[in-house]
Structure 1
Amino acid sequence: MPDREPSSNISGGETGGDIVAEFDPATAETRAERVVDRLGELYWEKTYGGQDAFTCLVRTILSQNTSDVASQPAHDALLERYGNAGSDRELEPEADSITAADGDLAAALAAAEQSALAETIKSAGLYNQKSAVLIDVAEWVLEAFGSAAAFDSFVTDQPSETVRETLLEVRGIGPKTADCVLLFAGGRAGVFPVDTHVHRIYRRLGIAPADADHEVVRAVLEREVPPAKCGFGHTATIQFGREYCTARKPACLDDPDACPLGDLCDQVGVYPATDNVVDPAEADD
């Protein structure tokens, strides 16, 4: 499976796709759009969609409450053992060899022994909990759709709200996971998944209320950012959060001019004078 963040640059430039990037903060209609447009000056615009929906779902579940550095090895190990990466892999005693040969990851995980799956994904953290969720989700996919391929068709063909509502009914699938499947597998415009970076940054900027939960932040962004820019806004904000607006030491603490979004930010919960940083919900009024 390719990286969750698509690698194809379509924004033009020497290594791009010869498409003029449409990021112009001067013409943005909202501050949220100006932020995304400013990020467009820093990061590539990329294509979204095309990933296998069930594999994307598995990858996102593994990434919950951990970093990509920790979850990527777990994802790779899971695919090596249970995916279609080779016919000589070790099967669980109760696994169906026909299912394994068919390469249906949902069938393979539904037949997996939980302790073996937990050991396989150990690097992702919370491996006992995540292994149980993965088996339950795989069983749900087989019961509701019959196969991983049919689930993929559901994600790509049905309306976004139908897909989202259906996914949110399943234990272990939260809003961010559902939205990542819609974005990275379905390629849906207007979907702005909210992870910890997005949640922190748009409250810190003052664009979303300081005490907003993930769903409120999502509603604000999907209302104020044009649909075609939401996917890019998600991945670019994550990059910005890793490089500039980190949780404990944002760039503005060392240098007010170090942050490329400094003039658009309310610095909610960030106090350069005291070198103190708190969650926006705990900020002084």
Structure 2
Amino acid sequence: MKNLPALKIIEELEKLFPEAKGELNSRNTYELCVAVILSAQSTDVSVNQVTPALFEAYPTLESLAKAELNDVESYIARLGLYRAKAKNIIGFAQVVIERFDGVIPSSMEDLTSLPGVGRKCANVIQGECFHLPSLAVDTHVSRIAKRLGLAYQKDSVAVIERKLKKKLPKEKWTKAHHQMIFFGRYLCQARKPRCYRCPFVEHCHEKNKNLIA
């Protein structure tokens, strides 16, 4: 079975999801960053359900930095890991104020130094808030990359990110990230993929462990 080139895959995804974009609701960089931190191991839908009340209570970095942990927990209690996430978003606000004079940084090094912000979150923030070329690898992107022969089954998230960035031109990174997420979310799901609608079904490595990356 021959692997499709990454660019060919992205061309097909462009036909399927030309309007693919981030689905976390936010009105500014502060809100987007908090929403991204909250989205770890939670769906965008569930995050969007809790953030309106959260941002009404804490509309700024400064207000969140001064918040009581128990109060923040009460707003996000329906999310998984909500206690850790409440601690992280308060810490995020505090560190941005203390170390960066209240200005959310844009570099990968600075972003990943913030509480609750790993490399995946930082990539999302760079692409969505600062319009920098970025390619965040979440569970959807990882699954698609492995099924379509763009990565090995054993590859870590960091390795998959490097491989995808090498295979795709920089100007396509951010859009490709969203399109792969849409493909994984709405067609190529983990448990019950809709293979009958998939343009890549003949190239899928789901049952083939000898991937060529």
Q: Is TM more than 0.5 here? A: yes
Q: 2:114 aligns with which of 161, 170, 190?
A: 170
- The offset of 1:204, in angstroms, is 1.3
Shift of 1:51: 6.5
The counterpart of 1:61, out of the listed 24, 37, 58, is: 37
1:195 to 134, 138, 145: 138
Whose helix proportion is higher, 1 or 2?
2
Q: Distance in 2 between matches of 1:135 and 1:67?
A: 21
Task: Give matches, 1:142-157, under 5 Å.
Answer: 142-147=97-102, 150-151=103-104, 154-155=105-106
| Partner Cα separation in structure 1 for residue 46 and residue 63 of structure 2 | 23
Counterparts in 2 of 1:207 and 1:128: CA distance versus 1, 3 Å: same
Distance 1:31 1:284, change over 3 A: closer
Q: Deviations over 1:100-133 (max 9, x none)?
A: xxxxx21111100000100111222211110000
Give the Cα separation in 2 of the matches to 1:213 and 1:135. 29
Letter in 1 for 2:170: P
**CA deviation vs aligned residue, 1:124-183 (integer Å, no higher than 9, x gap):** 221111000011111100011222xx22xx42xxxxxxx101122233211110000000
In structure 1, distance between residues paired with 2:27 and 2:129: 4
Aligned to 2:50: 74
Aligned CA-pair RMSD: 2.2
Match for residue 123 of structure 2 among 176, 179, 184:
179
Cα deviation, residue 236, structure 1: 1.0
- 2:162 partner letter: A
Residue identity over aligned pairs, in percent, reads 30
Ranges in structure 2 where 5+ consecutive residues have no aligned partner: none
Counterpart for residue 102 of structure 1: none
How far apart are the structure 1 equivalents of 2:21 and 2:186?
Answer: 22
Quick one: distance in 2 between partners of 1:216 and 1:284? 17
Q: Which structure 2 residues correspond to residues 9-20 of structure 1 after superposition, within 5 A?
A: none
Partner of 1:89: none
**CA contact 2:165–2:173 (8 Å) conserved in 1:** yes
Q: Deviations over 1:252-282 (max 9, x none)?
A: 2xx4xx212224x332347xxxxxxxxxxxx
For structure 1, the 5+ residue unaligned runs are 1-29, 84-104, 156-162, 271-282
Match of 1:262 among 190, 197, 201: 201
Q: Partners in 2 of 1:51 and 1:222 — Cα distance?
A: 29
1:18-167 aligned at under 5 Å gives the runs: 31-45=5-19, 52-83=28-59, 105-147=60-102, 150-151=103-104, 154-155=105-106, 163-167=107-111
1:201–1:241 Cα contact (<8 Å) kept: yes
Task: For residue 178 of structure 1, give the secondary structure of its aligned residue in structure 2.
Answer: helix
Q: Which amino acid aligns with 1:118?
A: E
How far off its partner does 1:31 sit? Answer: 1.1
| Matched residue type, 1:193 | A
User: Does the CA-based 8 Å contact 2:20-2:182 persist in structure 1?
Assistant: no
